Amino acid sequence: MPEQATLTPERPQIDDATAPAPPSRLGAVLGVVVLLLGIGAALLVGLLIRVGPGGDLGDLFGDGDRTAGAKVGDCVAELPWVAGVEAKPANDARAVRCGSADAAYAVVGRVQDPAAARNRSANACEPYFRPGDDGYVLYRVGDDGDGYLLCLVRGANGR
């Protein structure tokens, strides 16, 4: 009688060493973190380049009071030209280093008086001006109603 042969399918041999490992969640998370850190670093460098050394973020965003920290002995950059008792907006007024080329006025007095600032009363600065001074008054009133006056004389060196 003829012999029957049974055929059993052989399983292919798979080498476990060459099989790719399933992706790791830790690797994916680290990849995202590294990507976000890179983007953040690029934005920070761009911001620093835009503002410049010694710059102010108010310069970048164009808001905020850039003379709020000015005190006697500090300087202010050029303001709009006014004649006599004329008043003009000086929204771009900013405190600068007195040694800088932008320095145009010296702060000789500061009056922390919201009412005088709201009323634009230059009388509060009179004690700070001397005869012959080319005096200017910068009024600032914030959104909260708080305000101050900067008493300025022409020239970065003051008097």
Which residues, in sequence order, are bridge partners of residue 110?
A: 150
β partners of residue 150: 110, 138
**Rg for the chain (alpha carbons), in Å?**
35
Residues 68-106 pLDDT 10s? 888 999 999 888 776 666 666 677 788 998 988 889 999
Contact between residue 58 and residue 69 where contact means Cβ atoms under 8 Å apart: no
Task: Find, among 45, 26, 24, 22, the residue nearest to 34 by Cα.
Answer: 26
> Would the pLDDT of 58 be above 60?
no
At residue 103, the 3 state secondary structure works out as: strand
Provide φ and ψ at 113, rounded to 5°. Answer: -145, 100
What pTM value is reported for the model?
0.57
